[in-house]
Amino acid sequence: MTVLNTLTFTKYTVPNNADPVTKRRNKLLEKIDEQILLATDDTYTPTKRVRTTDADGNTRTIDKPKRVKRWWSTQTDGKVLLTVRYGARAIEFQKGKDAIEVESVEALPAMLRTVRQAVVEGELDELLAKYAQYGRAVKKR
């Protein structure tokens, strides 16, 4: 019992990672990181884990390619328009403006990193809160 007497005991509490602001930031950061990989690596193919059953009835987990839409498009004049999406909707940064103009595809990863830094610093928290409420029905009792 002498070893146990040297220890300090306390009550365990579960860490609270359920902060909605942090969840929204992390969700957007994951998507931005995926877009950075799409822009920098031509061979990158995102995958998802899928459970499948073979003819014998055995269930196994495999990695299957998933479809990821690029957030940018190249215009006829060579400029690139980048939209930042939260869910299925493009974030409207200013009234009627939901795209960022980038000079070229080569400058795209740097712009995505700039947007990522803005998300980390919390500059998009108000916009994310607005877009997180989209599509949710208000329950009245």
| Residue 91 CA from chain centroid, whole number | 13
Per-residue confidence (pLDDT) for residue 87, from 0 to 100: 85
Per-residue confidence (pLDDT) for residue 81, from 0 to 100: 94
**Spatial CB neighbours of 129, under 8 Å, sequence gap ≥ 6:** 20, 21, 24
- Reduced to 3 states (helix: H, G, I; strand: E, B; else coil), residue 141 is coil
Per-residue confidence (pLDDT) for residue 17, from 0 to 100: 64
- pLDDT under 50: residue ranges of the chain: none
Per-residue confidence (pLDDT) for residue 138, from 0 to 100: 57
Per-residue confidence (pLDDT) for residue 62, from 0 to 100: 92
- Reduced to 3 states (helix: H, G, I; strand: E, B; else coil), residue 57 is coil
DSSP 97: B
Question: H or E element: which one contains 73?
Answer: strand 72-74
Exposure on the CB side of residue 16, measured as CA atoms within 13 A? 3
What's the token pair of residue 33?
């990181």
- Reduced to 3 states (helix: H, G, I; strand: E, B; else coil), residue 16 is coil
pLDDT in tens, 46-62: 999 999 998 888 999 99
Exposure on the CB side of residue 23, measured as CA atoms within 13 A? 7
